[in-house]
Structure formats: C-alpha cells, structure tokens
Chain A
Amino acid sequence: DQQVKQNSPSLSVQEGRISILNCDYTNSMFDYFLWYKKYPAEGPTFLISISSIKDKNEDGRFTVFLNKSAKHLSLHIVPSQPGDSAVYFCAATPETQGGSEKLVFGKGTKLTVNP
C-alpha cells in the first residue's frame, strides 16, 4: 500500500511560470515532509521541508504548502527555470526525537521547464 502518492508522473511548464507539484499521503502518523530533487545520473538532493506544525514554508523560489486535514502537500516553484527540470520526490516520516525513522518516498514527478 502506497503511503505517499505523487499521482502525476510528469509535468511540463513554460519558463517563468509557476510549477505546482502535488503529493498526498495516507498515514496520519506522518508529521514531517520533505522534497528532494534529482537530476539524471546524480543522487537526490534535499530541497525543502515542512513540519506539521506549519502550513507553509518558503525558501527563495520554492514554497511548500501543507494541508494536514486533507493529507496533501504541494511544492510551488516560482518562477520556474530550465535548470529546475528534474525528478521531484516527496517524502514523509513521523517526527521523532532521538529516534531514527525511515523516510517514505513517493514515486516522483518529472518536471520539464521549457525555455
């Protein structure tokens, strides 16, 4: 059973426009959410995260929104740039203090930003 779902395998946007990547989760124990970006032939790199005590976290052109009641989060990229073209993975985990928990990843969304 997939606990983290990214229902859009791919997304194509024009340079300068907004990119919105969506992620849904089913496990109500998840309290911490992360987005990773992956270029071909490279490992994923951490992009932005959000704790369930917030509904928004912003870092430059990247903003993550969390709707806990809907078990939904989204990543907004504004403005989109060709260098943003990559696969984006959503991940979730129960928030822990002193423990170690696995991240549960979605299947990824391939974003293509066209010049």
Chain B
Amino acid sequence: DVKVTQSSRYLVKRTGEKVFLECVQDMDHENMFWYRQDPGLGLRLIYFSYDVKMKEKGDIPEGYSVSREKKERFSLILESASTNQTSMYLCASSFVGAIQETQYFGPGTRLLVL
C-alpha cells in the first residue's frame, strides 16, 4: 500500500511566521504535489516536482515555495504566513511511466493563520 504522510494534521500559526509543511512518501514515486483545498474552490495545485531538486509552479504558487532534496520528501514553505493562507493543505505523489496517473494523497494538514 502506498503511504503518504504529512508532518502535522493541525497547525496554528501567526501572521508573518515562516511555516514548513512536510510530506513523505514511501513508494519511490517520482512525482510529488502540493494542493490546497478550500470550500467551493476544490483542489488547487500550488507546486509540483517530478524529480529531486526539480520544481514547477502550479496554479497558485504566490506566497509559497517548495523544496525537494530527497526523492521521498517534498516540503511546502510559507515564507511569511498570511490569514488568506488558512486552508487544508494536501500532499500527493504519483508514479511516472505508467499510463495511469493516479495520485495518492496524504491525510492533509489543516492550517490556521491568526
């Protein structure tokens, strides 16, 4: 079974703080993704990575950065948290090379920025 874990289920931070969200997958997947989910807006892609040290902007990268130093780990960084970054953050991973592009998701981190 694929397992994607996220470092925290719930997080409360203050405006201006630097926030790190960690994601680890154990299936040797090449692709990793960060999404945020907001009511009425669905899943929106923030950043993705298809290899170590590689990253691509998604649909809403502003205010975020990412780091992928090891294949199994993909970090999302909020350089200076703001209240509009309060959201559910979801990490996912997928295998490259198969026709199927199924992404496997972690349980999510609910972030509240005060």
Give A contacts to B, CB under 8 Å: 6, 9, 32, 34, 36, 41-46, 49, 51, 89, 93, 95-103, 105-108
Contact = CB atoms under 8 A, between A and B. Distances in A.
Contacts of A45: 105
Nearest to A97: B99
B99 A95 contact: yes
Contacts, number: 65
Classify the secondary structure of A's interface with B: loop
Contact of A42 (B31, B97, B108): B108
Q: How large is the interface on B (under 10, 10 to 19, 20 to 34, 35 or more residues)?
A: 20 to 34
Interface of B: 4, 9, 30-31, 33, 40-45, 48, 50, 58, 90-92, 94, 96-97, 99-108, 110
A22 to B, nearest CB: 15
B31 A43 contact: no
Contact of A41 (B50, B106, B108): B108
B43 A89 contact: yes
Nearest to A4: B42
A105 B33 CA distance: 13
Contact of A100 (B96, B99, B102): B96
B90 A34 contact: no
Given A41-B110, A102-B58, A46 B104 contact: yes
B31 A46 contact: no
A37 B46 CA distance: 20
B107 to A, nearest CB: 5
A102 B48 contact: yes
Given A44-B105, A106-B42, A107-B42, A100 B110 contact: no
A49 B96 CA distance: 17
A79 B33 CA distance: 34
Nearest to A43: B105
Leading 3 A-B pairs by shortest Cβ distance: A43-B105, A107-B42, A105-B43
